[in-house]
Homo-oligomer: A and B are copies of this chain.
């Protein structure tokens, strides 16, 4: 079994992308490999195709399974575990987002709430900090709510929503609200450096 040129390039690129988003390279590569693979692969295959140690593959697979984007499958008459990725991109995206919300957003909200409460009885310089923290908290909460709604959408509905962004943009576009053109008030303030 061999990797095609296209598959190789994709796997390598996906590894880099993963790294840019805080996901370890090998893990992203394993995921990419399983994603484009026509059939489930065993750990040995993966190890050979990606040229990484068997144990590294084991660790990566465990993590991917924890994330929920890879599952273990069995073939009758073969003891070896095989692995298969979620094949629906949108579903994969959804699962990853759910996990990141749980691991990062929720704790961030908790921390921000704590900080805001703590800064409640501060002096006037602390007031500004509290206001900023409150704004940040409001934002993270908003994204969280938004996400939890997204999470309940089916794949076709999600596609509609994404495409709907285009319509909403036309409706509420900045051009109609800001006559100065495509530059917003905030970014305009950053003209001179």
Contact = CB atoms under 8 A, between A and B. Distances in A.
Contacts of A168: 149, 153, 157, 160-161, 164
A152 B174 contact: yes
Tallying the copies of this chain within the complex gives: 2
A173 to B, nearest CB: 5
Contacts of A145: 162-163, 165-166
Contact of A166 (B71, B146, B155): B146
B139 A157 contact: no
Contacts of A189: 71
A112 to B, nearest CB: 7
Contacts of A128: 36-38
Given A122-B4, A132-B87, A165-B149, A154 B19 contact: no
Contacts of A175: 152
Nearest to A81: B193
B133 A6 contact: yes
Interface in A135-193: 135-136, 138-139, 142-143, 145-146, 149-150, 152-157, 159-166, 168-169, 172-175, 177-178, 182, 184, 186-187, 189-190, 193
A17 B91 CA distance: 24
A88 interface: yes
Contact of A38 (B129, B138, B159, B164): B129
Given A142-B159, A149-B168, A153-B174, 17 more contacts: A6-B118, A7-B119, A10-B112, A10-B115, A10-B133, A22-B22, A36-B128, A36-B129, A68-B187, A89-B135, A149-B165, A150-B169, A152-B182, A153-B173, A157-B172, A160-B168, A161-B165
Q: Which 7 A-B pairs have the closest CB atoms?
A: A157-B172, A149-B169, A38-B128, A6-B119, A6-B115, A89-B139, A36-B129
